[in-house]
Chains A and B, each alone.
Chain A
Amino acid sequence: MSAGTRSEHYPVGIAGVSLREIERRVGPDEAPPLPPNAQLRTVGQSAPRVNGRAKVTGQARFTVDVTLPGMLHARLLRSPYPHARILSLDAGPAERHPGVRAVHLIDHAIGRAREIADPGPAAPTGRRMLYVGDPIAAVAAVTPQEAQAALDLIQVVYQPLPFVIDLEDARKADAPRVFERAVHSESFGEPAPQLPQHGNVHGPDLSASRGNAAAGLNAAEVLVEAEFRTQVQTHCCLEPHALVADWRDEGLTVYISTQFTAGIRAELAEAFGLPLSRVRVLVDAMGGGFGSKSRVGQYVLSAVELSRRAHAPVRLALDRHEEQIDSGHRPSTVQRIRLGARRDGTLTGVSIDAYGTAGVALGAGVGNFAQSIYECAHFALAQSDVFTHAGPGAPMRAPGNVPGAFAYEQIIDELAERLGMDPLALRERIDASPVRREERRAGAERIGWSRRRPPGSDPGTLKHGLGMAQSHWPALIQTNSACEVRILRDGSVEVRSSVQDIGTGVGTVLAQVVAEELGLAPEQIAVRIGDTDFAAGPPSYGSRTSASITPPARNAAYRALRQLIENAAPSLGAAPEALAARDGRICTADGRRSLSFREAAALLRTDEISVVASRSDDYGGFGHRMGDAAMARKGLGGVQFAEVAVDTETGRVLIERVVAVQDCGRPLNPRQIESQVHGGILQGISYALYEERILDAHTGRMLNPNLEQYKILRSRETPTIEVHVLEHYQGESATDAYGIAEPSIIATAPAVANAVYNAIGVRMRALPMNPAAILAALGRVPQPSGPP
C-alpha cells in the first residue's frame, strides 16, 4: 500500500447484467468514484454539442476559413511519373513570376518509409520521385492562381524509370525497386525490431506468433483454409488537409486541420530548430481526419518554410485530387488463413500469412485482431509490407484490424459452417470476453437472429441474408494528457486543453464532465481547446481522446472545486468536507446552508482558481506501456449484425439493417457515441461495397481521384442502424470512459460479408463486393469477347 493513497469502492461490470463493486487504492488528489450513470445529472446524458449550432449555421471556423492579413497562397509541384529521376530543375522563371513571393525546393522526403542509410537532404537534381504526386517544390504567391501559374513555369527534366504498382508484381525478385536500401522497421509509426527486406518485400514480422501453429494445425480435427483480399480505401475527409503558417521573429503560429496539435508542435519545433515555447498550433472546427491528419506532412513543412522565407502567412490547402493521391490511405492486403479446430469448435492452431502494400510507406499489416480476439495457444502470424510506386498509406480508422477482421471473422463463420454450428454458438465457445457474450445476446435478440435460415434459402432472384461479426480494439490512453479547469471570480468556468475536436465532440464531453463535478450545466462551461497555448492534451487518434482527457478534466474540476469550497466554507460556517456542489450551489449535505456557485466564486481572493491535472495511470495498472501511450488491461469489444438483400441478377447488395452493440467503458454522451457508431458503420459499408482506389497500370495514376468516380456511400445507401451501447464499468479512472470511433468500424465489413454469404451461399473473399464481383462469384459473367 503506497503512501498517501486511499481506498475507494468503484462500480464494475455491465449495468443491468453484472454490476458490482470493487475496492481500489487511488492517489490522494483523485476525484472520488463516479457512481453509475443512472445516478448522475449530466454525464451519461445526450448533451447537445457545444459547437453544434455553429456548425449547422455555418458559423464554425474551419482551418480552410482562416485568413490572415497579407496571407499568401501556396501550391505544390508534384511528380507526374510514378518513378522518375529529376535530371534538372530550374525554378528561376517561377521565382521571377510576378506575384510569387517564395519558392521552396523540397530536398528531403517525409511521410514514407525511411531508408536506414538515409543520405539526408539532397539537391532536387538527382532525387528520385517514387509515385505520381510525390511533392517536388512549393510556391507561395499572392493568389492561388498565381501560385498555380508559377508551378507551370518550373522547368523539370525527368528521366522516367521502370515502376511497379501491382502488389503481386512488386513481390517478384526482378521487380523495379522502390527503395534502393533497407528501411527502418516500425509499428504504428514507432521504431520496432529490424525486419529483413528482400526487394520490395519488408518482413515478415513474426512477433505476434505464439506456441507452435504447425503442431496445432496437425492436431486439428477440422481444417479450413482460404485467401482474402482487401482493396485500398482513401480517407476522404470532407475538409481537406490544410494549414496557414505564420512565421514571425517571435515565433511560429500554425493554424492546421490536425488530429494532434501538441504532436504537430513537437514535430515543427524539431524540424525548424525552434523551442517548443515558440511554436503555437491551433485548430478550431475540423472536418474529419480518420488518421490521415495525425502528423506533419510534406505540405506542412513546405508551407512553414515558405512563410519563413516570404515573411508572410502562407495558406496551403490540398485539392480533392491531392487528397486522394497524397494524403494517405488504408493499405490493401492479401491474407491466407489456415484454421484448425476440434469438433467442438475449440481452436487448435491458426496460421496467417499476410502481405499488403501502403505504397512507399509501411503499415500494411493486419493489426492485432486475430491474435487477440479468440483463444488459441498455437498462433502464427507472418506479415510483410510490399513497397509499390504509389502514394503512402497512413493509419485509417482501426488500421490493420479492419482488413484483418474482414478475413478472420469470415473464416470463423466458415469454420462454424463446417462444424455444423451456429456462428454465435461457435463464438460462445472460443471467445472468452464476457462483454462480447452480452453483446451477442443483446444483438441477436434485436436483429432477430432466430429468423436466420441456411445459406441461399430465398427461392427468387432477390435473396436475403443475416450475418454477424465481432470486433476487438485495444483501449488506448495517452498518458501525458493534461487539462486545466479555471473557476473565475464571476462564477464562470473554463476548461482548457490543446486537445482538438476532430468532429467527435470531445469539447462537449469535457463540458459535461466538468459540469457534473461542479454541479453546473454543460452550457455553463466555456470550452477552450485546440490550442497549444493551453495544457497539452492527447491526440484524436487511436480512439483514445475521451479516455485520456476526461479523467484529468474531472480531477482538475474536483481540485478547483475543493479550493473554492475551502475558501467559502468559513462564510457558510461549515467544514469544507461537509460541503458539496449541487444544482449550481455550494451546500451542506442537508441543503440547509448554501451559497450559489457565483456567490462562492465572488469570495475568491484571487481573480481565478486554476488547476491543471494530468492523466493518472489506470487504477488497476496498464496492460502495456508504449512511451507516452498505454494500453488498458482490457480491450474494447463490439458485435454487429447485418441484414442484407442481394439482387442476384444485377449483383447489387442492399444493406437493409445493421444492429451494433458496442462497448466504450462508461458512455459519456450517448448521442455522440451513436453518431460515432453510425459513422463507423457507414464507412464500413462503404469499404465493404463501394470504395476502391483504381490505379492505371500504364501510367501509375489514380483514375478516380475525386468523389465522383471514387464510389463512396451517401444518403441513399444508408440503412436502418440500431445502436446499443453497453454501460461497462471497470473502475480504472476518474471517468472510466474509453473510446468508440475505431471499434465501431471493425465488425461492419465482415458482418456484411457473412450476411451476403447467408443470402447467396457464395463466399465473397475480396473487397469491394460490387456488382462485378458478386456476379463473377455467382458465375454469371461471360468471357470478354471484344478487342483485347
Chain B
Amino acid sequence: MNRFEWMTPDGIAHAARAATATVATAMISRSGLPATDAAVLKAGGIDLLDLMKEGLLSPHRLINLLSIPGLDRIEPQEGGLRIGPTVTLAQLAAHEAVRARFRALADAAGASASPQIRHLATLGGNLLQRPRCWYFRSRAHHCARKGGDTCFAFAGENQYHAIFDHRGCAIVHPSTCATALVAFGAVLEITGPTGARRAASLEAFLRLPETDLQRENDLLPGEIVTAIRIPAHPLTTRSIHLKQGEIDSFDWPIAEVAVALDLADGICRRASVVLGAAAPAPHRAAQAEAALSGRAIDEALLRTAARAALEGAAPLSRNAYKLPIFEALVRRAIRAAIEA
C-alpha cells in the first residue's frame, strides 16, 4: 500500500473542495497504473483500503468523512426517512423505524458482509463501493472498466457476473443496500465542490455500462452524498429483501431480491421488484411489477411474476444457474411480503 496523507475536514464544503477525484476516476488509466495525485473521500474505509492494499488505487490524500459531525443520523422526514451517509450498516439493520417501515432495507443491511464490517461500513460508502468482479480486482487484468481494452469476463470465469444489461462489462452492482433502496425509490442529496446541491433518484444515479463503462454512478469529483432519502410509502406497504449466497458467513450474494408491495384489501396496488447481483445496477423487474400491480396475488400469479422477472435475461457461459435461483427468490420474497 502506498503512503498517503490523512485529512480531517472541518465540514462538508471543506471536504468537497479538497476532493480532486472520485475513486472511479482515480482508477481509470491507459497504463494500468492508478493515479498517484488523487485526493479521495473516505468513509468507513472498507472498500477504499481494500483497493489500496491490492495496489489498484494509490491516492495521495484521504479525506475522512467520519470526522464531519451530523452525518450519521437517521431522521423521519415527510413520512419517509432521511439517512445520513455515514450511518453504518449495523445501525441501519438495528434501527426501529427502518425495521418497522422499510424492512427490506434493514434486512439488506443486516445481510451484508460480516458483523465487524457492518459496524464500520457506511451506507454512503456501500452505495459507492467499486464492483467485485475478480478481473477488476486483479492488478494483472487491466480490463475495460479500469481503462483497458477488454472485458475478461465474457470469455472467462463469469459465474458471479451479470445476467442482464451487460453490454461491454458484466459486473453486478456490489451494493446490497442499493437493491432495497431502489425498490423504495430512494433519492440522494449531493453537494458539489462549489456548494451547489442537487438531488438524484438512486435509480437514475446508478449507471449501466452502456452509458458509462468506467463509473457505476454519476458522482463527479468533489461531490459528496450528504443524505439518502426514502420517500413516504403508504402504511400498507410491506417489504422484504432476500439474499442468497454460496455461503452465509460474510459472503456476497449470488442472487438477491427486494420487493415492496402496497397491499390493501387483498389487492396489490403497487409493486416494486428489484433484483440485485443480477446486473451492473440494481435491476428493476418491470414486467414482474406490471404483472402484480392491481391484482390479487395468488400462487399462480406469483409464479407468473417470478418468470416475468427474468424476462430479457441473457446468461453468460457460466452463470445460467442464477436464473432458477432468482425465480425462486422472487416467488419467496413476494410470498414473504404478503405474509409479513
Question: Contacting A787 at CB < 8 Å: which of B138, B249, B316, B325?
Answer: B316
Nearest residue in B to A649 (C-beta to C-beta)?
A: B328
Whether A716 lies near B321 (C-beta < 8 A) is: no
Which residues from B are CB-within-8-Å of A650? 244, 255, 324-325, 328-329
Name, among A703, A712, A717, the residue most crowded by chain B CB atoms within 10 Å (CB to CB): A703
Name B314's closest neighbour in chain A (CB-CB): A786
In Å, the complex CA distance between A783 and B315 comes to 8
Which residues in A have their C-beta under 8 angstroms from that of B132?
709
Interface pick from B152-160, B231-239, B296-304: B152-160
Sort A-B residue pairs by CB-CB distance and give the 10 closest, nearest first: A714-B249, A649-B328, A786-B314, A772-B321, A716-B248, A716-B249, A703-B134, A780-B324, A786-B316, A781-B321
Residue pairs across A and B with Cβ atoms less than 8 A apart, 12 shown, are A651-B321, A652-B244, A698-B156, A701-B140, A701-B141, A704-B134, A714-B249, A716-B247, A771-B244, A772-B318, A781-B323, A788-B154
Q: Does A694 contact B (CB under 8 A)?
A: yes
Dominant SS at the B interface? loop
Q: Mark A765-788, 1 if CB is under 8 A from B, else 0.
A: 000001110011000111111111
Question: Which partner residue on chain A sits nearest B329 by CB separation?
Answer: A650
Specify which chain A residues have a CB less than 8 angstroms from the CB of B247 in the assembled complex.
Answer: 690, 711-714, 716-717
Whether the pair B324, A696 counts as a contact (CB closer than 8 A) is: no
Q: Is the CB of A696 within 8 A of B152?
A: yes
B251 proximity list for chain A (CB < 8 A): 711
A701 touches B248 (CB 8 A): no
Which chain B residues lie closer than 8 Å to A788 at the CB level? 154-155, 317
Are A80 and B140 in touch, CB under 8 angstroms? Answer: yes
B246 at the binding interface (Cβ < 8 Å)? yes
Are B135 and A703 in contact (CB-based, < 8 A)? yes
A567 contacts chain B at the CB level, 8 A cutoff: no
Most B CB within 10 A of own CB, among A690, A711, A783: A711
Q: Please report the C-alpha to C-alpha distance between residue A776 and residue B135 in the assembled complex, in whole angstroms.
A: 25
On chain A, the residues within 8 Å of B134 by CB distance are 694, 703-704, 709
Q: A714-B249, A786-B314 are in contact. List 14 more A-B contacts (CB 8 A).
A: A80-B140, A690-B247, A694-B157, A699-B140, A703-B138, A703-B157, A711-B247, A711-B251, A713-B247, A771-B244, A780-B321, A781-B320, A785-B313, A785-B315
B54 to chain A, nearest CB (A): 9
* Interface residues on chain A, number (Cβ under 8 Å): 38
Instruction: State whether the Cβ of B166 lies closer than 8 Å to any Cβ in chain A.
Output: yes
CB of B119 to closest CB in A, whole Å: 16
A329 to B324, CA, bound (A): 33
| B152 A698 Cβ-Cβ under 8 A | yes
Indicate if B163 sits at the interface (CB-CB under 8 A). Answer: yes
Q: Which of B316-336 contact A (CB under 8 A)?
A: 316-321, 323-325, 327-329
Shortest distance in angstroms between B118's beta carbon and chain A's nearest beta carbon?
Answer: 14
Q: Are A784 and B315 in contact (CB under 8 A)?
A: yes
Query: B254 at interface (Cβ–Cβ under 8 A)?
Result: yes
Point out which of B152, B314, B320, B321 has the most chain A C-beta atoms below 10 A from its C-beta: B321
B35 CB to nearest A CB, Å: 17
Q: How many interface residues does B have (CB within 8 Å)?
A: 40
- CB pair A698 B155 closer than 8 Å: yes
- Known contacts A649-B324, A698-B152: A771-B254 contact under CB 8 Å: yes
> Does B250 sit within 8 A of A, measured CB to CB?
yes
Known: A651-B321, A709-B134, A711-B247. A782 touches B315 (CB 8 A): yes
User: By CB atoms of chain B within 10 A, which of A694, A699, A716, A786 has the most?
Assistant: A786
Per-position binary interface string of chain B over residues 140-156, scored 1 when its CB falls under 8 Å from any chain A CB and 0 otherwise: 11000000000010111
On chain B, the residues within 8 Å of A651 by CB distance are: 321, 324-325
**Complex CA–CA separation, A716 to B247 (angstroms):** 8
Q: Which of B233-274 contact A (CB under 8 A)?
A: 244, 246-251, 254-255
- Contacts of A698 on B, CB cut-off 8 Å? 152, 155-156
Q: Which residues 684-732 of A sit at the B interface, judged by CB distance below 8 A?
A: 690, 694, 696-699, 701, 703-704, 709, 711-717
Question: Among B137, B138, B141, B246, which residue has its beta carbon within 8 angstroms of that of A771?
Answer: B246
Contact flag A649-B325 (CB < 8 Å), given A699-B140, A714-B249, A772-B159: yes
**Bound form: Cα–Cα A704–B160 in Å:** 12
Q: How far is the CB of A320 from chain B (nearest CB, A)?
A: 10
Of the listed residues B155, B163, B254, B325, the one surrounded by the most CB atoms of chain A closer than 10 A to its CB is: B325
Q: Which of A625-655 contact B (CB under 8 A)?
A: 649-652
**Smallest distance from the beta carbon of B171 to chain A beta carbons, Å?**
14
Q: Contacts A703-B135, A704-B134, A787-B154: A717 and B314 contacting too (C-beta < 8 A)? A: no
0/1 string, B266-292, CB within 8 A of A gives 1: 000000000000000000000000000
How far is B315's CA from A771's CA once the two chains are assembled, in angstroms? 16
Kindly identify, within residues 161 to 182 of chain B, every residue whose CB is under 8 Å from any CB belonging to chain A.
Answer: 163, 166
The residue in chain B whose Cβ has the minimal distance to the Cβ of A652 is: B244
The interface residues of chain B lying within 8 Å CB-to-CB of A775 are 321, 324-325
Q: Chain B nearest CB: distance from A234 CB in Å? A: 15
What residues of B have a CB within 8 angstroms of the CB of A716 in the complex? 247-249
Nearest neighbor of A705 in chain B, beta-carbon distance: B138
Q: Once bound together, how far apart are the Cα atoms of A781 and B163, in whole Å?
A: 13
Q: Which residues 47-96 of B have a CB within 8 angstroms of A?
A: none
Output the nearest chain A residue to B328 by Cβ-Cβ distance.
A649
Q: When each residue 513-530 of chain A gets 1 if its CB lies under 8 Å from chain B and 0 otherwise, what string results? A: 000000000000000000
Q: Within the assembled complex, what's the spacing in Å between the Cα atoms of A776 and B159? A: 13
Nearest chain B residue, comparing its CB with the CB of A81: B140
Residues of B within 8 A of A697 (CB): 156
Query: What is the CA–CA distance of A80 and B255 in the complex, to the nearest angstrom?
Result: 33
- Contact indicator B246/A770 (Cβ below 8 Å): yes
Chain A residues near B327 (CB-CB < 8 A): 649
- A699, B250: Cβ atoms closer than 8 Å: no
Closest CB-CB distance, B163 to chain A, in whole Å?
7
Which chain B residue lies CB-closest to A713? B247
Give complex CA distance A43, B319 in Å: 54
Return the chain B residue nearest A768 by Cβ: B246
